[in-house]
């Protein structure tokens, strides 16, 4: 978590790995489902709230 505060670590970097097309397609279908997207946003908000409360 300490790395989150470093300015140089915040940029978008190119991935050195390869993408698995099955996983990419799976994530695309998940994201297109509104109930999954609502669940994911709520989970991120909860995790962020817990992190900020520490």
* pLDDT tens digits, one per residue of 22-44: 988 998 998 899 999 999 999 99
Residue 4 has pLDDT above 60, yes or no: no
Please tell me the distance from the alpha carbon of residue 40 to that of residue 38, in angstroms, as a whole number: 6
Predicted confidence (pLDDT) at residue 1 exceeds the cutoff of 70: no
Residues 6 or more apart whose Cβ sits within 8 Å of residue 37:
31
Q: What is this structure's pTM?
A: 0.52
CB atoms within 10 A of CB 40: 13
């Amino acid at each position: 978590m300490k790395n989150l505060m470093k300015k140089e670590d915040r940029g978008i970097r190119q991935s050195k790995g390869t993408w698995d097309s099955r996983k990419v397609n799976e994530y695309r279908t998940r994201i297109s489902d509104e109930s999954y997207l609502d669940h994911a946003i709520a989970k991120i908000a909860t995790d962020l709230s817990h992190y900020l409360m520490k």
